[in-house]
Amino acid sequence: MIIVMNPRAGEEAIRRISTRLEEMGYRIHRSTGENRTILGVIGQRREEVAQTLEALPEVEKVVYISRPFKLVGREFHPDDTVIRLGEVAIGGPKLAVMAGPCAVEGEEQLLESAWAVKSAGAQILRAGAFKPRTSPYSFQGLEWKGLEMLSRVREETGLLIVTEVMDQFTVKDLAACVDILQVGTRNMQNFYLLRELGKIRKPVLLKRGMSATIEEWLMAAEYIMSGGNYQVILCERGIRTFEPYTRNTLDLSAVPLIKQLSHLPVIVDPSHATGKAELVPAMSRAAVACGADGLMIEVHPRPAEALSDGPQSLNPEQFTRLMEDLKGVARSVGRYV
C-alpha cells in the first residue's frame, strides 16, 4: 500500500500518520518528492485501513500494490485446479460441456433435451428449476417440482446436473441432489449465499456479475474458498455495455487474463452473452481458442416453444453440428471434446 500525501500536508501530519501505522504493525518507507511525500506501507492489505487513511484531508490517495485476493490467486498456487466429478474433469485437456434448456418446463421437455445433449457429447445437463426473471408477470420456474425432475433425469441418463441456487437457505437441499451449484449473475455478490457455499464440498459454478470487474469476480470466488470449498468454476457470460445489438458483450479477454491471475477453471456461456442463437457457434469456437476450459450452452428441443430465452437456444441438430465443429479448434489448442 502506498500513501500519496497531499502537497499541502505538513511535516507534523506525515509523522502522525507514520507513527499510527507503525503502531498497527506496518513498516513505513518514506520518500520525499518535489511536491509530495509518499509513504510506502509494508504489511498485510486491509481495506479498512486504506479507507480510513483516504478520509484524512492530508492524504491525496492510497494506491494498492498487492492484489486483494489470496486463495484464488496463482501466486501461491501455481498449478491449475482441476475439478473432478466421477469421470468428468473440469480444467483438464477434455473440454467440459454443459448444455440444456434455460428452464425446466416439464419432465418430457427435460428428458428430450437431456438425451439430445448427451448424444451430441455433453457430459453435464444444465436447466434452471428456480428462474430469476425481470418481470413479476413472467414464468418463474417449476421450483422444487423442477428439481425433482432434474433428479429423475440425472438417474435415467447418467448426466451430471448443474442448476442455479437462489439463496443461502436452499444450498444444502440443492447440494444433496445436483452435482454443481450455479450462482447466477445477479447473485455474484450475494455474500451470504457465497459464505454458505463455502461450507459445502460440491463444485460451485460462479457466473460473472453483469457489471462486475474481474477483480470483484475473483473476490466473490475468494468468499467461497475462504470458507473451505476450493471447487470453484468461473463462468464468463457477458458484461453490460452500450452496444444494443447483443444482449451483453462477451468479454473473452477475461479468459486468458484469469488464467494468469488465478488457478481456477474458466468456462464461457455464449448463449446468455450474445442472446442470439446464430452467434453461439462462432463465439463457442472463439472461447475454446482463447483457452476456456468448457462451455455452457442453451439447447432446447424446440426453441420457438421455449418458455424463456428461446431466441438464444440452439436446437439439437445445431448443437450436434457445433460439437462436431469444436473438435478442430480444440485440437489446435491441444485439447479435445
Ranges within 18-47 binding its own copies (CB under 8 A): 29, 31, 33-36, 38, 40, 42-43, 46-47
Q: Which of 14, 183, 235, 279 binds its own copies (CB under 8 A)?
A: 279
H-type alpha helices, the chain: 11-23, 47-54, 107-120, 143-157, 171-177, 191-197, 214-226, 254-261, 270-274, 280-289, 316-332
Q: Which of 83, 150, 162, 255 binds its own copies (CB under 8 A)?
A: 255
Q: How many residues bind its own copies (CB under 8 A)?
A: 107
DSSP 336: B
Interface with its own copies, residue 121, by CB under 8 A: no
**Spatial distance between the Cα atoms of 180 and 269, rounded to a whole number of angstroms:** 15
Interface with its own copies, residue 106, by CB under 8 A: no
CB 266 within 8 A of CB 259: yes
CB 114 within 8 A of CB 301: no
Q: Report the residue number, 50 or 160, with the smaller CB distance to its own copies.
A: 50
Ranges within 139-178 binding its own copies (CB under 8 A): 139-140, 166-169
Q: Report the residue number, 160 or 306, with the smaller CB distance to its own copies.
A: 306
Interface with its own copies, residue 2, by CB under 8 A: yes
Q: Measured from the CB of residue 332, what is the shortest distance to its own copies in angstroms? A: 3
Q: Which of 82, 176, 191, 336 binds its own copies (CB under 8 A)?
A: 191
Interface with its own copies, residue 223, by CB under 8 A: yes
Ranges within 298-337 binding its own copies (CB under 8 A): 303-311, 313, 327-329, 331-333
Backbone phi, psi, residue 190, to 5°: -85, 90
Q: Which triple of cell numbers denotes residue 184? A: 447466477
Q: Which triple of cell numbers denotes residue 140? A: 418463474
Stretches 91-99, 114-122, 171-179, 275-283: which one binds its own copies (CB under 8 A)? Answer: 275-283
Instruction: Collect all residues with Cβ–Cβ distance below 8 Å to 100 and sequence separation of at least 6.
Output: 110, 113, 114, 117, 122, 125, 126, 127, 298, 299
Task: Tell me the CA distances in angstroms from 153 to 96, 131, 146, 318, one per residue in order.
Answer: 19, 19, 11, 22
Q: Which of 80, 107, 148, 251 binds its own copies (CB under 8 A)?
A: 251
Interface with its own copies, residue 228, by CB under 8 A: no
Q: Which of 51, 108, 176, 177 binds its own copies (CB under 8 A)?
A: 51
Ranges within 76-105 binding its own copies (CB under 8 A): none
Q: Report the residue number, 88 or 299, with the smaller CB distance to its own copies.
A: 299
Q: Measured from the CB of residue 106, what is the shortest distance to its own copies in angstroms? A: 14
CB 215 within 8 A of CB 68: yes
3-class DSSP assignment, residue 306: coil
**Spatial distance between the Cα atoms of 233 and 211, rounded to a whole number of angstroms:** 19
Q: Measured from the CB of residue 160, what is the shortest distance to its own copies in angstroms? A: 26
Interface with its own copies, residue 189, by CB under 8 A: yes
Q: Report the residue number, 111 or 257, with the smaller CB distance to its own copies.
A: 257
